[in-house]
Structure 1
């Protein structure tokens, strides 16, 4: 069964936080700071008056852009 969030096109900050698995403080901080070295860039957002909203398709693209194609190096040797 789909949740109400999956059917929406525009998410609030709280819904976005839940959808991408990041904290609301990450969203706020990354929005205000913009692109900074060694920091994860905020997902694209829109402002409607004072309200901040996120488009689902932008969030999906943002998540896809952070996908890793290879495993991270394993520490301590290989397991059999």
Structure 2
């Protein structure tokens, strides 16, 4: 099975965010990994899933190691 690539609109919908937020994350170097092919930006679904998992916190006092 191949890894599904999502455009920014579909990726934003998957994350419950906006295309604008994804753009800001790309500019700041935060957010999920993305793929740039020419002028097109794509997100691998597995990268989005991994990024969401990395954001998981046990409590508000939990700091990333």
TM-score of the pair, normalised by structure 2: 0.80
User: Which structure 2 segments of 5+ residues have no match?
Assistant: none
- Deviation at 1:14? 0.1
Runs of 4+ in 1 over 2 A off after TM superposition: none
Q: CA deviation at 1:68?
A: 1.6
> What CA deviation, in whole Å up to 9, does each residue of 1:14-69 have, x standing for no partner?
000000111111100110122xxxxxx22100001100000000000000001122
Aligned length: 59
Gapped regions of structure 1 (runs ≥ 5): 1-7, 35-40, 74-80
Structure number with bigger Rg: 1
**RMSD over aligned Cα atoms:** 1.6
User: Which of 8, 15, 20 lines up with 2:15 in the alignment?
Assistant: 20
